[in-house]
Structure 1
């Protein structure tokens, strides 16, 4: 016995359809139509439409002679003679209706007089052995049951409703008003242990996950619902077994009812235990007898077979088969075959041996190399800019992974409503038995404008509201114009940024920034204007880069107040600062916004100088390092260290906004913003030339929520070298709410060894982890 099987989804089976040729022929022969003649039509009937009469055969046609099935003599001899001589009743005239009614009336009178039916009834019609009575007018009376109805009974009026006996029906057992109609049932599966290869546990787990009976939690509204679930689970079990190679499995179902349970206080037994039973006979598990891949030779020769995970002798499991085919469909386009197609598999099963012959046709198509780029549709930018985003060049062997990368890069620009990247054959030879493939980029430009806002709060920093308006393609291609405003209790600012993304190179950004800021902090008050230019190669949520960099220049004009120890008061001064900046970062974490393992290292150098009076150069340097270690799937230990130093100028020559400060939500929690470090006689911070900070967190996440316990430490020093003395500590607890763009955090901390003037509790609200 050999059968062909197709694995579709979880392993559907094709049945065999047999069609009777005789039935088909019979269905093709229509019965002859009966067409009435004019004489047969009723006089008042509408005339029939003209119906074409069949054309008689021509006289010269030679029609074959058809032998009769039964000879005429045999047919006539089989018919009994019918004549008045054989049956005199045939010549008698038909009885009139009046004579028939008369005989019925006489038969009824004879019955009423007690005359035997066999002598009085004669030919009177009878019902159940009794003659049918006649009414007064001669019509016969229909017998209802065994009692004939008289004319008087039919004319009698109906009795009133209140004369009927309406005594309620008494049941053998009184109805329990508290009894529920819900059926409670148990589920039992027998026979899975008979499956070989140790698959019984896996099959049972898979059945439990998908079972309608288990989804019902052991309750059903009625037996019809229970039977429907049992029937659905029977089909489910058959599909599961077939998907694991048990094609000859037999699944039977039944509902077992246990013995009734006795009611309370000696009441009659009412409830019975119900069990939905599924009996399984898995049968033989089919295995591969041979695996045939019908495909043309590839380059390299073993490309298909080396990446096809099925082997001869293993069970025919649907998931394994589909996974193997998907692996080939994925591998071929990655190795230069953009138009490869996987055909319909064929599995020929031999029921006598329990083996299956697997055949898979594969059309590898033409081998291709990247050619040009063509952009069509409603364009956000042209093909030349698409070429900047692509990580392939003309002549490179086609690789679908690079095509997917280009598609993601186009989506990341935020300029498209829809975008698609597809290979198109050109027929142009590229050598080595390959041809050039054009990448067709179909664009549908979307709305380029975006409005965004965020808010936060920190003790010492106050409430901070920030909003922005962005036109992402104001200077095509990808030239954005950004307007930004900050409204806070401690800071207000306005700024405009012109940003070119993918500027001449993939992921490189060029920015021109101008802004004006008013700050009112305990450390200083300032009105600042800033103009800056910056080139960066940064990470994004889609592409988190291992190495990043940035460099630029800025010109700052600021009027700030500082405490003059000689005068014993705060005085205002004007600073003009020209500076350069450079930054290099290494990122080995698993997530840009919420890392759980790995480390980060960033180094920043800012050589700058004051242009007021004589030029006073100095350099600001800062190094940040952080690490993350997953203790369990839900607990992460995180730590960070920061060290900074300013060399080349005394603290008094530095603008207060260019000094180092510590304290606050992104620094040492438990203290107000910029609160740590040297103080003036009014106990206001004045900043320093060096700092060090450290923090450790234990992050516990459950679902979309999390709890964080933390300990921070840090200090700011007058000198340019941090000596790690006099460290201040803050401890606290925080909550996290995880969203698709990163966690939102609320931290509450307190300073350890609190001093006069320091808050007992500090609160910080922002987006993202503290580090």
Structure 2
């Protein structure tokens, strides 16, 4: 096969194409660079004397001449057009940072931008020289803030318009928009900004601001119609939006409706449009405009750990099974490649899940699933079949509660030998999620409380876990170049029987990519006299990370994980395990790609000396 390919290549020379991965061209010529008509290359010198570090970074980020310096432009005039556009962007950036007296100087081949002829001609022997100098000048502060018309009784300080503070243009625009939203929130949908004047006094380096808002009449929501839908039921869309005729008008309700419809995954675009006038009943009509996305989807993924081996996952799903955003998903996975030999030592999982949003109540969701799995860990082997039926309800935009029923058959081989279990459970969950981004948060927190009262039929054992976790995120700097992240989790298990009477997969273990990195998955556990892991009745784990952005796409993450599992219902911290390491992140539209290298600081005598983990998404 190799010889045949080689012979073909010799007889028919292959065209050299670029090879690009993660946005980096490793070899060949990037085709995008050859699609420009009459390409002209340029070199740019970018100077920002007397600019602070934050301002310098903002100016450099806004300059497309600088960001696209490796890309040619189209024709000599293209250089001039790009330079003119850059000047407008740089000026706007100065205004945003409260510099209204800045000077932007751009020359092309030594000629000032405004002195060039309408159709300039540059030498092509060398790249065109573009010099950009931005002198920010003095910082301007607010001197007078005047609110008139229906905004006259509002307090400027509430909107961060404080005399003596920097007078950034973006802050002024946001303040006026927030005032408008607050007035509209009084059920006045036709409110509008009548005036927003910003006057800079260059003699005193100050700014005077005048904002006038006309509120319009008080009006409730009128009829809510739906357009653009084809396969998704219009009545369901209106019901799930939770926008109903007669309720008070609030801009925040419109935004929330758009967000919750978007999370269904069945729409590629959603716009909640309000009429520009009231109807005959004095109400404001709304129209929800949607564009449906493809309902069927499939995908695959992979994970890798030097300790737990490699894994493959695949799935197929349908987002709109019966016309009301019902979701059906089929998942399958196999993992443990490279960890041990033999197909019997691999981990397998397959399952089907169904979800029906808006069930009984607009804020309720019905979930049902059945899953079969074979799990081989260093502590136990478990073959399980689990059926679950649950119902979740959104208390608020950030609070969710759920209750369910679960029946699981488990065949377990562990420190206590081979045992079979049949367990009925009632899972109870509460979650509060204020994160700004589920895949890559920079602020907010995520807290959970769970319990699962259970009855094991074969041994007549009653038991229940009680667990809680909280993870928090705090971004540093204007662009969140460093995000501090931390997670704390703890749990305890109550039972009227012995440890052997509780299925191993319901006892507590720790270790692996989701808890204490550097140790085998579920490898941290109390041990019996034969040095076999038994699982515990309580645990505590904690993790801290500093997620440092090196570039827009690449980040480094130093981390420390700590955990302990005890054979008592209250952790005794007699055997604490810790792992530390460094991670690499590469940002993609579907979440960061994660590579972590961890060292166990106090490994087990025959345990691994390091662990490498590859996956998608942050570790927590």
Q: Which bin holds the TM-score, normalised by the shorter protein?
A: 0.5 to 0.7
Deviation at 1:503, TM superposition (A): 2.6
Alignment of structure 1 residues 383-394 onto 2, 5 Å: 383-394=234-245
Cα distance in 1 for residues equivalent to 2:589 and 2:394: 20
Pair 1:368–1:748, CA change in 2 (3 A): same
| Alignment of 1:583 onto 2:429 | yes
Q: Structure 2: which 5+ residue stretches go unaligned?
A: 1-40, 48-54, 70-75, 113-130, 134-145, 162-167, 199-208, 337-345
Deviation of residue 761 (structure 1)? 1.2
C-alpha deviation, 1:337, in angstroms: 4.6
Q: 1:625 aligns with which of 457, 461, 470?
A: 470
Residue-by-residue CA offset, 1:602-625 (whole Å, 9 max, x unaligned): 221111121115x21011122223
In the TM superposition, what are the counterparts of 1:392-431 in structure 2 within 5 Å? 392-424=243-275, 427-429=279-281
Q: 2:184·2:215 contact (CA, 8 Å) conserved in 1? A: no
Return the alpha-carbon distance in structure 2 between the equivalents of residues 187 and 764 of structure 1: 40
Given the alignment, which residue of 495, 498, 502 partners 2:351? Answer: 495
In the alignment, does 2:463 pair up with 1:607? no
Q: Return the offset for 1:427.
A: 3.4
Q: How do 1:267-278 and structure 2 match up within 5 A? A: none
For residues 412 and 393 of structure 1, do their structure 2 counterparts lie closer, same or farther at Cα, with a shift above 3 Å needed?
same
Query: What is the CA distance between 1:746 and its match in structure 2?
Result: 1.3
The question of whether the paired residues in 1 share the 8 Å contact of 2:349 and 2:373 is answered with yes
Query: TM-score, structure 1 length as denominator?
Result: 0.54
Q: CA deviation at 1:530?
A: 0.7
Tell me which residue corresponds to 1:556.
408
Q: CA deviation at 1:458?
A: 2.7
- SS of match in other structure, 1:668: coil
Q: Are 1:689 and 2:540 counterparts?
A: no
Is 1:484 matched up with 2:336? no
Q: Which residue of 1 aligns with 2:284?
A: 437
Shift of 1:387: 3.5
Per the TM alignment, residue 528 of structure 1 is displaced from its structure 2 partner at its CA by 1.3
Q: Work out whether residues 523 and 685 of structure 1, in 8 Å CA contact, stay in contact via their aligned partners in 2.
A: yes
Change (3 A) 1:501 1:184: closer
Q: Distance in 2 between matches of 1:770 and 1:665?
A: 7
Give the 3 Å change call, closer, same or farther, for CA 392–651 of structure 1 in structure 2. Answer: same
Partner of 2:385: 529
Q: Which has the higher strand share?
A: 2
**Cα distance, 1:326 vs. partner?**
6.5
Alignment of 1:37-52 (within 5 A): none
1:382 to 1:428, Cα distance in 2 relative to 1, 3 A:
farther
Range moving further from structure 2, 449-458 or 624-633? 624-633
CA distance in 2, matches of 1:361, 1:586: 39
3-state SS, counterpart of residue 516 of structure 2: coil
Distance between the aligned counterparts of 1:185 and 1:342, measured in 2? Answer: 41
Q: Which residue of 2 aligns with 1:674?
A: 522
CA distance in 2: counterparts of 1:479 and 1:627, whole angstroms? 32
Matched, 1:510 2:366: yes
Q: How does 1:119-198 map to 2 (within 5 A)?
A: none
Q: Shift of residue 671 of structure 1?
A: 1.0
| Residue 711 in structure 1 maps to residue 560 in structure 2 | yes
2:203 is matched with which residue? none
How far the C-alpha of 1:228 sits from its partner, in A, is 8.1
> Is contact 1:212-1:232 (8 Å) kept?
no
1:470: which partner in 2?
317
Q: How does 1:1-16 map to 2 (within 5 A)?
A: none
The superposition leaves residues 559-595 of structure 1 with CA deviations (integer Å, 9 ceiling, x where unpaired) of 221334xxxxx4x322110011112233455543334
Residue 754 (structure 1) aligns with: 603
> What is the rounded CA distance, in whole Å, between the counterparts of 1:523 and 1:185 in structure 2?
60
Q: State the alpha-carbon separation in 2 of the partners of residues 522 and 306 from structure 1.
A: 64
Q: What is aligned with 2:579?
A: 730
Q: Please, what is the CA RMSD of the aligned residues? A: 5.2
Give CA deviations for 1:686-705 in whole Å, capped at 9, x if unaligned: 32222222233333222222
User: How far is the alpha carbon of 1:768 from its aligned partner?
Assistant: 2.4
> Is the 8 Å Cα contact of residues 623 and 642 (structure 1) preserved in structure 2?
yes
Per-residue CA deviation, residues 162-211 of structure 1 (Å, 9 max, x unaligned), is xxxxxxxxxxxxxxxxxxxx9999999xxxxxxxxxxxxx9xx99xx889
CA distance in 2, matches of 1:344, 1:598: 35
Structure 2 residue matching 1:711: 3-state secondary structure: strand
Looking at structure 1, the residues matched to 246 and 177 of structure 2 have their Cα atoms a distance apart, in angstroms, of: 27
| Shift in alpha-carbon separation, 1:374–1:720, aligned structure 2, 3 A | same
Query: Deviations 1:14-63 (Å, cap 9, x if unpaired)?
Result: xxxxxxxxxxxxxxxxxxxxxxxxxxxxxxxxxxxxxxxxxxxxxxxxxx
* Matched-pair contact (CA < 8 Å) for 1:598–1:629: yes
Match of 1:385, SS state, is helix
State which drifts further: 736-745 or 468-477.
Answer: 736-745
Tell me how many residue pairs correspond in the alignment.
496
Q: Deviations over 1:317-354 (max 9, x none)?
A: 9999988986787676555454567789999xxxxxxx
Alpha carbons of structure 1 residues 323 and 654: separation in structure 2 relative to 1, 3 Å: closer
Structure-2 change in CA distance of 1:753 and 1:400 (3 Å): closer
Cα gap change, 1:461/1:680 in structure 2, threshold over 3 Å: closer, same or farther?
farther
* Shift of residue 506, structure 1, vs aligned partner: 4.2
Contact 2:516 2:561 (C-alpha < 8 Å) held by counterparts: yes
**Change beyond 3 A, Cα 1:401–1:603:** closer
Contact 2:565–2:575 under 8 Å retained in 1 = no
In structure 2, the partner of 1:16 is none
Secondary structure of the residue aligned to 1:428 is: coil
The corresponding residue for 1:592 is 438
TM-fit CA distance, 1:553: 1.3
Structure 1 pair 684–586 and aligned structure 2 pair: CA distance change class (3 A): same
Equivalent residue for 1:655, pick from 503, 527, 536: 503
Deviation at 1:416, TM superposition (A): 2.5
- What is the CA distance between 1:473 and its match in structure 2? 1.1
Please give the alpha-carbon distance, in whole angstroms, between the structure 2 residues aligned to 1:187 and 1:514.
60
Shift of 1:419: 3.8
Q: How does 1:209-288 map to 2 (within 5 A)?
A: none
Give 3-state SS (helix, strand or coil) of 1:368's partner: coil
**CA positional deviation for 1:441:** 2.6
Structure of higher CA gyration radius: 1
Q: Residue 224 of structure 2 contacts residue 244 of structure 2 at CA under 8 Å; is this kept in 1?
A: no
Q: 1:514 to 1:366 in 2, by over 3 A?
A: same
SS of corresponding position for 1:410: helix
1:749, distance to aligned residue in structure 2 (A): 1.4
Structure 1 residues without counterparts, runs of 5 or longer: 1-181, 189-201, 217-223, 258-275, 279-290, 294-300, 311-316, 348-357, 430-434, 565-569
Match of 1:369 among 220, 241, 258: 220
SS of the residue corresponding to residue 252 of structure 2 reads: helix
Deviation at 1:714, TM superposition (A): 1.9
The normalised TM-score by structure 2 is 0.66
